[in-house]
Structure 1
Amino acid sequence: MMLRKHTILAATLALAAMSAQAHDLWFKPSSTVLSKSDWVTVDAAVSNDVFFFNHRPLSLDNVTVTGPDGAAVEMKNAHKGELRSVFDFKPEKPGTYRVTMLMNGVMGGYKDANGQPKRLRGSAAEIASQIPADATDVRITENVRRMETFISVGKPSPITTTGKGLEMKPVTHPNDLVSDEEATFEFLIDGKPAAGVEMELVADGIRYRDGVNALKLKADANGVVKVKFPRAGLFWLSADAKDAKTTVPQAKERHLGYVATLEVLP
C-alpha cells in the first residue's frame, strides 16, 4: 500500500509539473499581513486565468505550511472541490509563515520497436523501468518547481532558502511590499545567482480588464530584479529557467520554475 501511495504521488507531481506549463498554478491567501494571531484561509487552484477558479483544483498532497522557526504548522479543514482546493491554518507566533508546494517529476517520450511514440511520466525510478531495451529517440526532461506564498504576524522574520532548484531570496521582504515603492528580489539556482532569469508579474482582476498586462522583467548578472509595483493588490510572480544540471541520469535537460503570490499594500 505504501509503495502504491508513493507511485500515485510521483505521478501526481509529474502531472502537476506539466500543468504548470499549460495553465497557471497559484495560492490565494485571505490575508498576508496580520497584526495578531488569527485564522488564514488559502485557496489553491489550476486555472486559465490567475486567481479565478475556471479549470480544476490543485492537489494539496505536497503542500506544507512552516512557521518562523521552520516547524510544520497543521493545516485544518482541507477540502478539494470541483474548481478549487482550500485549507485553513492559524499562525500563533509572531514572524513569517510559508505555504509551499514542491513539484519534482520526470517526463518525456520515446519510440517503440514499431516506431510508435510513447509518453513517459513519473519518478526517476519509474521512468527507467518504463523504457524498453529497443526504444529509440528517447527524450527525458526533469522538472523542478516551487510555489509559495508568505503570511506574517507582526514583524516579518527572515526567509531562508534551501539551495535547491530555482528560488527567490527576498531582499525586500514579501510581506513588506508597497505600491509605487521599489522592491528588490534575488533569484538563485541551486543556491547560486540565477543570472538573466526571466520573470513576469500578473496583477489580480484579469477578468475585469482587456488583457493580462503582464509585467516582464529580467534579472541582472547577479540574479537581482528590481520592480516598482504599479498598484496595490495581489500579484502572481512566475519565473522559469533551463539547464543541464539534472539529477536523473537519463535526462539531458532540467526545467526549473518558481511561482509566488505576493500582496502589495497601498
Structure 2
Amino acid sequence: MKLTARLAACALALAGAATAHAHNVWLMPSSTVLSKAEWITVDAAVSNDLFFFNHVPLRLDGLVVTGPDGAEVKPENLHTGKLRSVFDLNLTKPGTYRLAVINGGLFANYKDKATGQPKRWRGTAENFAKEVPADAQELRVTQSAGRVETFVTVGKPTPIKPSAQGLELIPVTQPADLVKGEKATFAFHIDGKPAADLEVVLVHGGTRYRDSVGEIKTKTDAKGEFTVTWPTAGMYWIDADAKDDKTSLPQAKERRLSYVGTVEVLP
C-alpha cells in the first residue's frame, strides 16, 4: 500500500489529534534490543496511564515497518481488541527497525448555507470536494499529520533514514544505546528540515504508580537538536507538536503536526 493510501486509511484512526493527545498514545515492543534474529510482539494503545491498556486500542491502518535496508517488513497476526491492538514481527536482518503508525487527514467546520446550522467534517483530501458543499459558509479547514513510532535493533545498530515528511524524530544517539545517567541527543525535523525552538516532553513509564507525571521538558536548538540525561532506566514516551501553513489543500490554512515515540533506557 502506498504512503498516500495509508494516510487516507488512517485519517480516522486516532479520532483526530485532540483525542490522541487528551490521552497517551503509544507503541510498546516486547523487546527493543536483540542480540540475534527473533520474533517480537508489539502492543498499540491510547491510554489514561502510560503503557497500560485502560482506554481504547490504537488502530493499525497506517502501520509501516521499515527494515535496516529500507525495505518494508510485513507485520503478522494483527489484531485489534477492546483495549489494545497487537502485531508480531519476524526480525530476520541485523540493524535498526523503524515501527510507525502514520496518520493524517482534514478537519472542517462550516455553516450549512440553507439552514445556517454548524457542521463538522473529518476525512481525506480525496473526499473533501465530494463531501463538503462548495457553497459552505464560514469554512475553516485544518490539515493534520502525525507519527507514532518506536525502534527495535537486532545486533549492531544502523542509521535511521528520514522520510522527510511531517514531524519526525532523527536519532543522533542510537536508540539501542540509551543508558541511565548518560546523555542522549536527538533532532526533530519538519519535512526534512531542522525544527528549531520546538518544545519536547519526555515522560518515564509507570505514571499509574506516581503522584506526579514527572515530565522532562526541553526545547530544540537551531539545528533542531535536544539533549537529555536519563534519570532512570525504563521505557520513555517522547512527545512534540508543531503548526505551520504548509498545507497540501488550498482551503486548509493550517497544518497541525504531531509526534509520539517510545524508547527504552537500559540500566
> Aligning the two structures, in what range does the TM-score lie when normalised by the shorter sequence?
over 0.9
Deviates more, 1:10-19 or 1:95-104: 10-19
* Alignment gaps of 5+ in structure 1: none
Runs of 4+ in 1 over 3 A off after TM superposition: 5-8
- Other-structure match for 2:84: 84
SS at match of 2:25: strand
SS at match of 1:169: strand
Cα distance, 1:11–1:181 mapped onto 2, change above 3 Å: closer
Describe how 1:1-266 pairs up with structure 2 within 5 A: 9=9, 11-13=11-13, 15-113=15-113, 114-266=115-267
Cα distance, 1:239–1:11 mapped onto 2, change above 3 Å: closer
Contact 1:10 1:123 in 2 (8 A): no
CA distance in 2, matches of 1:177, 1:228: 9
For residue 11 of structure 1, report the CA deviation from its aligned partner. 4.7
TM-score by structure 1 length? 0.93
Contact 1:13 1:105 in 2 (8 A): no
Contact 2:203 2:236 in 1 (8 A): yes
TM-score by structure 2 length? 0.93
For residue 73 of structure 1, report the CA deviation from its aligned partner. 1.7
Contact 2:6 2:102 in 1 (8 A): no
For residue 229 of structure 1, report the CA deviation from its aligned partner. 1.2
| Cα displacement string for residues 69-127 of structure 1 (whole angstroms, at most 9, x for unaligned residues) | 11122212211111001111121111011111110111121011232110011001222
CA distance in 1, matches of 2:248, 2:242: 16
CA distance in 2, matches of 1:198, 1:7: 25
Aligned length: 262
Contact 2:6 2:103 in 1 (8 A): no
CA distance in 2, matches of 1:230, 1:6: 37
RMSD, matched Cα: 1.8
Deviates more, 1:13-22 or 1:216-225: 13-22
Contact 1:17 1:105 in 2 (8 A): no
CA distance in 1, matches of 2:131, 2:24: 29
CA distance in 2, matches of 1:121, 1:14: 12
Letter of the structure 2 residue corresponding to residue 52 of structure 1: F
